Each structure stands twice: as C-alpha cells, then as structure tokens.
Amino acid sequence: MALRTIRVEGDPVLNKKCRTVEKMTPRLKELIADMYETMYEYNGVGLAAPQVGVLKRIVVIDLTGDEPITLINPEIIETSGEQTSDEGCLSVPGMAGQVTRPNYVKIRACNEDMEPFEMEGEELLARAFCHEVDHLDGKMYTSLVVGGLHEVQDEPEEEA
C-alpha cells in the first residue's frame, strides 16, 4: 500500500467523467488499498478514484474507521427526503459549505470481486454516496454549495 497524492480543485482530472471498471485486476486491487490508506491518512470518510488521478468508477467509504465500503461502478437507483449540512472534500482542503442532499439513498454497485449488490444509506452515508458518485461524473460539491464556502478549523466529519 502507498499514499496517493490527492488532486485539488482546479485539477482538470476532477472534472472528467470516469470509465466503467470492466474487470478487477491486481493493479485495481492495489489502487483500492492505496485509496483506503490515503483516505485514512487525511481523515476523510470517502474517496473517489479521480481524486487520486485515476479515471475509473471506484469509490471507498468508511464513516467509522472500521466499516469499509468499496463501490465499483456505483449508481444511485433511489433517493428520498432531504438534508442540508456542511460538506467538505479532501480535494478542497480546509473548506466546507452548506449542501442539500437526499436523506436516503439506495445504490447498486459491485464489490472488489465484481459481485453486484445493493446498499441503502441514510444521513451521512447517503451524503457520502452522493458526494462520491458526483466525483465519478466529474462534479464537485462546490457547485452545489448555497451561500459560499467557509474555512473550517478542524476537518468536518462530513468530509468525503
């Protein structure tokens, strides 16, 4: 495993749509392990492959530090409700802004063995699903912020 460099807002790779993963390879498994290590090192709760410069539809999420979720080719298939909260991003260090997201999200994805599954999330997990899938489509949360960004002293728990 190795730490990867996190791309920051303004890097063109963050505005590109990612390619579908057709098959799992040892190199992609190494990428996933590196993404977890990088996310934990920078105290994030989610990281998408384009944030480390790889245009593949791969996301890692871990809200608690001991419940890792790997999503290959994730797609949001259902949403409901609404929540508005501060949101941050490892690609926009030290900043946060108010973003409205669904309060409930159901996704379909594949695991590291390319086995399909569905998963539901509410509140912070729903927010993380939306935030990370947006990254795969070349969208940054900053385009959804209402009222502008503000500096944060400590990284917000919602950082994805």
Q: Which amino acid is at 34?
A: D
Q: Which residues are catalytic?
A: 132
Instruction: At 42, give phi and psi (nearest 5°).
Output: -100, 15
- What tens digit of pLDDT does each residue of 120-148 get? 999 999 999 999 999 999 999 999 999 89
Structure tokens at 148: 């502008």
Domain edges within the chain: 12-151
The pLDDT-based confidence of 155 (bands split at 50, 70, 90) is: very low
Q: What is the DSSP letter of 7?
A: P
For 61-109, give the secondary structure using H, E and C.
ECCCCCCCEEEEEEEEEEEECCEEEEEECCCCCCEEEEEEECCEEEEEE
Which CATH fold topology does 12-151 show? Peptide Deformylase (3.90.45)
Distance between CA atoms of 16 and 106, rounded to whole angstroms? 24
Write down the pLDDT at residue 1.
78
Q: Which residues contact 105 (CB under 8 A, 6 or more apart)?
A: 76, 78, 79, 120, 121, 122, 125, 126, 129, 130
**Whole-number percent of the chain with pLDDT over 90:** 91
Q: What is the average pLDDT score of the chain?
A: 95
The pLDDT-based confidence of 156 (bands split at 50, 70, 90) is: very low
- What tens digit of pLDDT does each residue of 73-82 get? 999 999 999 9
